A and B are shown apart, each in its own frame.
Chain A
Amino acid sequence: MLLEIGGSINMIGYALATLGPAIGVAWIFASVINGTARQPEARGAMLGTAWIGFAVVEALAIIGIALAFVL
């Protein structure tokens, strides 16, 4: 047997927890793409806000990975 499967079930919980932030992040950048298509010159302003929004939404996934290792 070369590799055996082991580890913590926490990781499955973390995998589930990434779904929310994944949808959130996808939505943010989808909105930027939509906005850019409608109004290309506003791209810079939208991206600036988008990165901050991305960071805030991503915090959920980040807290998730921390808890997956801690708990």
Chain B
Amino acid sequence: MHNIVPLLLPLEGDTSWPPSAASFNSRPLFPGLGIDWVNNHMMQAVIGALLVIAIWLIFSHRQTVVPGKRQFLGEMAYNLVRNSIGKEILGSEFRPFMPYLVAIISFILVNNLFGELFLFMFPTFSKIGYAYGLALMSWLLYNAVGIKKYGFGHYMKKMTLPDGVPVGLWILIIPLEFISNFVTRPITLALRLFANLFAGHLVIMVFVIGGTMLIESGTLFYAAAGGVSILFSFAIFALELLVGCLQAYIFTVLTAQYVSSAIAEEH
């Protein structure tokens, strides 16, 4: 029975009970070579990125006017992002942002699905550093397009001072809006992605590791409860599948929303 844990949780740093933040520690891939930053989770992110690039290259390879099955599938995936996120939120200015939005939704989706795929079984973004990186890119993007469109001074005024605020409230509104738009936004963007996957994976670990321990306890009643617990972990995996797709969508929608608020005309 002891091989259930390495099968369902192969990339964990520590599979002792109870599962904690230490269970998410990375292992260096080449220990002793002085390149300990090359760890299993980073390699997983790189594989995810290569996978995304490969998928979109395959989809866009040798395009024809009348699409074949492969191109049709690619166009369907692209149109989903373009219509439900790009056009819906960014309106007529959606075109320059489509590559970023498509790239980010596919990268997050692939990495989240790693959490349920054999061989990996670990969502990359349950390591917060990766989520911070993505949020930083989105933060740079929406501020850069805003500054490019309005100039630095005008952009800061637009983002920190909504129209029609009386002069007496400026001292209150300006710091609040500044914190909300430049500090809270990227942090919640990263934390939302991270915490959903972290919490989900932690629950999976509780069921898998706990279930295995119960099975190995040698008491028949405990063993039965452990078996049910392992089975129940599959239901949690299914829930995580949903959460992974949802978080990829939400991250992209919010990025588009922030870009849209940065370039929106004043009314």
Contact = CB atoms under 8 A, between A and B. Distances in A.
A52 B191 contact: no
Contact of A52 (B17, B188, B213, B257): B257
Interface stretch (B6-14, B45-53, B248-256): B248-256
Nearest to B188: A59
Contact of B199 (A6, A7, A65): A65
Interface residues of A, number: 17
Nearest to A5: B18
B222 A2 contact: yes
A51 B192 contact: no
B21 interface: yes
A37 to B, nearest CB: 23
B108 to A, nearest CB: 14
Contacts, number: 43
A16 B126 CA distance: 23
A63 B191 contact: yes
Interface string A28-60: 000000000000000000001001101100110
Interface in B66-111: 84, 88-89
B199 A52 contact: no
Main secondary structure of the interface of A (DSSP, over half): helix
Contacts of A26: none
A7 B18 contact: yes
A62 B188 contact: yes
A66 to B, nearest CB: 5
Contacts of B188: 59, 62-63
A3 interface: yes
B176 to A, nearest CB: 15
Contacts of B21: 69
Contact of B217 (A2, A54, A59, A62): A2
Contact of B17 (A3, A51, A66): A3
A55 B192 contact: yes
A66 B88 contact: no
B130 to A, nearest CB: 16
B144 interface: no
A69 B188 CA distance: 16
A31 to B, nearest CB: 18
Interface of B: 17-18, 21, 84, 88-89, 184, 188, 191-192, 195-196, 198-199, 210, 213-214, 217, 222, 249-250, 253-254, 257
26 contacts: A2-B213, A2-B214, A2-B217, A2-B222, A3-B17, A3-B210, A6-B18, A7-B18, A48-B84, A48-B89, A48-B253, A51-B249, A51-B250, A52-B253, A52-B257, A55-B192, A55-B250, A55-B253, A55-B254, A59-B188, A61-B195, A62-B196, A63-B188, A66-B191, A66-B195, A69-B21
Given A2-B213, A3-B17, A62-B191, 8 more contacts: A2-B214, A7-B18, A48-B84, A54-B250, A55-B192, A58-B192, A59-B188, A62-B196
